[in-house]
Amino acid sequence: MDELRSAPVAPQKLLVDGTWESASGAPLDVLSPIDGRKLTTIESAGPDDVARACGAARRAFDDGRWSRMAPAARKKVLHAIADRIEAEAAALTVLGVRDNGTEFNMALKAEAGSAAGTFRYYAEALDKMYGEIAPTAPDVLGLVHREPVGVVGAIVPWNFPLMIGAWKLAPALAAGNSVVLKPAETASLSLLRLAEICMECGLPDGVLNVVTGPGAMTGEALALSMDVDMLVFTGSGATGRRLLEYAARSNLKRVYLELGGKSPNVIFADAPDLEKAAKVSAMGIFRNSGQVCVAGSRLLVEQSIHDEFVQLLAKEAGKLRVGDPLNLDTHIGAINSEAQLMGNLGFVDDARKQGNTIALGGNRMLDDTGGYYMEPTIVTDVAPDHRIAQEEVFGPVLAVTAFDSDDDAVRIANSTDYGLAAGVWTGNLSRAHRMVRDIRAGVVHVNTYGGSDNTVPLGGVKQSGNGHDKSLHAFDKYFDLKTAWMQL
């Protein structure tokens, strides 16, 4: 670990048509959130650089070097990528932690471990996606073919770059598409190494291209490209709206968005184990410093157990060690950037001004390290319409609201613009089913929070986005359906 922690990281380049090259703009410094020090540089791709990458992806798709490769051959390459990710899991994880601050123990499983599993899942699935024969008249043969969409632009966030990158890359490549990947400028390093791995494992040149740089320049150029047939994105609602506008201004490319959430975690008085609920709920918001799309950032507690449960939760949160994410005894690592940390603290200041109670935390910590760290924070006396209950903080900040009845819980749970995830803790089976039915969210956890695998989809409703990552349903985005209508 010590050797990996201190290993120098070479200046990074763009990947275009199988070649690592410099961009037209000045490189960007990569600052580690662990200590605020410069780690390396990444390229800042401008419109011309992005155009070259998109053109390479288009040529690779059109000439069939990957799109018309036999499924068994594509499968072999994707399995090789999964094997290599597993072999390099520790190195990939440390590189990613130095770049984005996630605690190592979580990242090892959620980043490299998840990415390897995702590539393996879609490698196994790709040759099991059949076309259809339609039940037409006897003198007509109606065939429904599945064809790859073409060139996919994938824009990936900084909180779990390998995991979410694999959610986009693996099914897109398995379906036969070419990809232009744009990582977040504050977490590009592990995805750049993944691109190297893909090439080393036999992915043909031009099938995967990687452009790094600011979203306002690099991401915009990718979204406006006439060579890109569809965009997949995980990130903020504001950026998602811009991507839709860029699609309208260019070639009306399809855009699939996962835009985060303000997920309610509902604790009923009849929960089977309140201490377990408190422990799991604490990790449901504070792991990765709250920088998790499905984080249970709103805690809804039945009035009769409100004070008791908040005390249990604060006790559990107080056990969590915040610190260097590469130390194995750390539970919570760093905030990704100083700008994100300042935004988190701004939400806490606003909560104080609105009369909320800061029951735990609320402050920056370990600032003598030069890194970006924040105390686990619990805010109580939060009304459903308060800012901290309505807007995504994306930090270790939990808003607690009391409720009186099932109907009250559902009303409050559904009172935001988001609908990505939710949790329900109850010993009543009928109530559990009603909550799953009535809460508007793409995922509803019952007597747990967080965790799933590739067998189930992840996607949101309302302003949490559209489309799904994970499971066979992810393929829906990456295939087109073509009808052949044949007179016999």
Question: How does pLDDT run across 218-248, given as a tens digit for each residue?
Answer: 999 999 999 999 999 999 999 999 999 999 9
Phi, psi of 84 (to 5 degrees): -70, -40
Domains defined for the chain, CATH in brackets: 2-259+465-487 (3.40.605.10), 264-453 (3.40.309.10)
Q: What integer pLDDT is reported at residue 230 of this predicted model?
A: 98
Question: How does pLDDT run across 62-72, given as a tens digit for each residue?
Answer: 999 999 999 99
CA torsion 345→350→356→358, rounded to 10°? 20
**Catalytic-labelled residue, pool 43, 258, 316, 375:** 258
pLDDT-based confidence at residue 2 (cuts at 50, 70, 90)? confident
Question: How does pLDDT run across 181-213, given as a tens digit for each residue?
Answer: 999 999 999 999 999 999 999 999 999 999 999
Total-model pTM:
0.97
Host H or E run for residue 245: helix 237-249
Is residue 293 among the annotated active site residues? yes
Q: Count other C-beta atoms under 10 Å from residue 200's C-beta.
A: 11
Is residue 308 among the annotated active site residues? no
The partner residues of 332 in beta bridges, in order of sequence, read 322
Q: What integer pLDDT is reported at residue 43 of this predicted model?
A: 98
**Catalytic-labelled residue, pool 54, 198, 201, 293:** 293
Rounded-to-integer distance, Cα 419 and Cα 439, Å: 8
